[in-house]
Amino acid sequence: MAYELNHPDIRDAVARLCADFPGDYWRKLDREQAYPAEFVAALTQSGYLGALIPEEFGGSGLGISAAAAILEEVHRSGGNAAACHAQMYTMGTVLRHGSAEQKEKYLPSIASGALRLQAFGVTEPTSGTDTSALKTTARRDGDDFVINGQKIWTSRAAHSDLMLLLARTTPREQVAKRTDGLSVLLIDMRDADPAALTIRPIRAMINHATTEVFFDNLRTPAASLVGAEGKGFRYILSGMNAERILIAAECIGDAKWFIEKATRYARERVVFGRPIGQNQGVQFPIANAYARMRAAELMLREATRLYELGQNPGEEANLAKMLAAEASWAAAEACLQTHGGFGFAEEYDIERKFRETRLYQVAPISTNLILSFIAEHVLGMPRSY
Ligand SMILES: Cc1cc2nc3c(=O)[nH]c(=O)nc-3n(C[C@H](O)[C@H](O)[C@H](O)COP(=O)(O)OP(=O)(O)OC[C@H]3O[C@@H](n4cnc5c(N)ncnc54)[C@H](O)[C@@H]3O)c2cc1C
């Protein structure tokens, strides 16, 4: 069976769309920490955000490689897909584990963009990466769950209708495994009592529409539960490979943007009577970043290939995400250094992309935790935490 992983037509079309959103569009938003509503609307109207939703629910029914191509091109154009990438993949938990009624009710509207499901509440201030230690609770009360607690870094919550929430439904001391007793709830924030749900934007180093969310006796119908009660942790894990692959694609797009920009400047900028790119000291960091990008891109291809074969490419998806994040950072460094002082000028977009691409070594999963995964699950060393 032949696999088309490159999707040149999709790439061309996304690049054309992105040409309408040049650097000054993103710069202005970055300055104001504002949401790229016009860009998100354009991606939505063109159907790209419904790429992974099966055709029977109104989406395009494309594979993960097509979604990766879309996100890579957004980043390669100098833009940033973080404002809406989660609209593509958060629904995967509903698709894989939701009831027939939930899929019928939500997926067609998510596919059309009429409904936004792009907030994903897992991280909490006190538990951090140790997800099973999270403290937000969902207690059953009649036909409702009552939610109490706090999430942090819940990106796009203020630009989403629905939130996928991981909360504890059985106290940790009453479960055999600490990852048991956690449940996934699909919360309709439009119905929420404003006194019970508070969303506060967090001003951050990058323009990411990220927030902290407070739940104070928020009631949500029992029908909000996705899948079986207490099995939420494994449902969240089952979506991780897709997220790792798509974030890796964004990193590859960033790396290509930095490398193209650095290369062009190195050819054109003349100092001491010759192009700076004639000096090996300028060439080598760019060539090195290119080599790292290409290696990461191959790992990403392998992860998408296995994913589309229906396998569980935990190793490849994690490696692709880590290598791509490192490659984009190496490319950012090389690009900034090549531009000298001009790299710091806002109008070149380098300082903005430099800040943006640094995120990927911390979120959605930090590099250390990927290394721990490889050490334990691939190399068979003892669990370290
Ligand atoms: C801009 C942004 C957007 C985000 N969006 C979302 C979102 O939409 N939804 C959501 O749920 N979360 C989101 N996050 C949270 C993100 O997933 C976490 O920040 C990330 O997983 C790291 O968790 P933490 O910040 O709590 O760090 P901590 O867990 O406190 O870790 C701090 C540092 O210690 C290291 N560390 C911790 N434990 C170990 C260990 N055992 N071994 C080695 N090193 C270790 C980590 O690698 C990290 O470098 C976002 C974060 C940011 C910054």
Atom of ligand 1 nearest to the CA of 123: 11
**270-271/225-226 β-pairing:** unpaired
Token pair belonging to 46: 């063109």
Looking at the domain assignment, is residue 385 inside a domain?
no
Where a domain ends, among 206, 231, 256? 231
Tell me which residue of 78, 26, 73 sits closest to 46, measured CA to CA: 73
Atom of ligand 1 nearest to the CA of 367: 47
Same domain, 62 and 174: no
Indicate which CATH number applies to the domain containing 273.
Answer: 1.20.140.10
| pTM of the predicted structure, to 2 decimals | 0.97
Q: At which of 204, 231, 258 does a domain end?
A: 231
Mean pLDDT by 10 residues, the chain (385 residues): 77 98 98 98 98 98 98 98 97 98 98 98 96 97 98 98 98 96 98 97 98 98 98 95 98 98 98 98 98 98 97 97 98 98 98 98 97 98 94
CA Rg, the chain, in Å?
Answer: 21
For the chain, how are helix, strand and coil distributed in percent, rounded to 5? Answer: 55, 15, 30
Per the CB < 8 A criterion, the answer to whether 139 and 181 are in contact is no
283 within domain boundaries: yes
Domain closes at, from 112, 137, 169: 112
- In angstroms, the first-to-last Cα distance of the chain is 41
Residue partners of 227: CB distance under 8 A and separation at least 6:
97, 98, 184, 235
Q: What string of DSSP letters covers 42-60?
A: HHHHTTGGGTTS-GGGTS-
Q: How many residues does the chain have?
A: 385
158 CB near ligand 1 (under 6 Å): no
Residue 35 gets the label, from left (phi > 0), alpha (psi -120 to 50) or beta, of beta
Angstrom distance (rounded) from CA 187 to CA 190: 9
**Ligand 1 contact, 385 CB (< 6 A):** yes
42 shares its domain with 103:
yes
Decide: 373 and 385 in contact? Cβ < 8 Å.
Answer: no
* Partners of residue 186 on adjacent β-strands: 164
The confidence score (pLDDT) of residue 3 equals: 55
What is the Cα–Cα distance from 381 to 146, expressed in whole angstroms? 41
Q: Which residues, other chains included, contact 90 with Cβ-Cβ below 8 Å and sequence gap of 6+?
A: 117, 118, 119, 120, 164, 239
CATH number (domain holding residue 82):
1.10.540.10
Supply the pLDDT for residue 231: 98
Which SS3 state, helix, strand or coil, does residue 65 take?
helix
Shared domain check, 244 and 184: no
Token couple for 196? 């019970």
Q: What residues contact 370, with CB distance under 8 A and at least 6 apart?
A: 318, 319, 321, 322
Q: Whose CA is nearest to atom 27 of ligand 1?
A: 128
**Which range of residues forms the domain containing residue 30?**
8-112
Gap from CA of 123 to ligand 1 centroid (Å):
7
Our CA angle for 238, 242, 243, nearest 5°, is 100
Say if residue 289 is in the same domain as residue 260. yes
Position 87 in a domain: yes
Query: What total number of domains does the chain contain?
Result: 3
Q: Please give the Cα distance from 242 to 251 (Å, whole number).
A: 14
Q: Are residues 95 and 125 in the same domain?
A: no
Instruction: Confirm whether 3 is domain-assigned.
Output: no
Give the whole-angstrom CA distance, residue 286 versus residue 66. 28
State the CB neighbour count (10 A cutoff) for residue 47. 16
Q: Is 362 in the pocket of ligand 1 (CB under 6 A)?
A: yes
Element (H, E) at 145: strand 144-152
Residue nearest to atom 2 of ligand 1 (CA): 153
Bridge partners of residue 214, in order along the sequence: 150, 198
| Residue 89 token pair | 């993949």
CATH of the domain at 225: 2.40.110.10
Same domain, 244 and 372: yes
Is residue 256, in this structure, part of any structural domain at all?
yes
pLDDT reported for residue 2: 44
State whether 303 and 334 are in the same domain: yes
Look up residue 44 and give its two tokens: 């939505």
Ligand 1 binding pocket includes 359 (Cβ within 6 Å): yes
- CB neighbourhood size of 43 (10 A): 27
For ligand 1, atom 12, the nearest C-alpha belongs to 123
Q: What is the secondary structure of 107-120 as a DSSP string?
A: HHHHHHTSS-EEEE
Residue 384 is assigned to a structural domain of this protein:
no
Q: Are residues 198 and 226 in the same domain?
A: yes
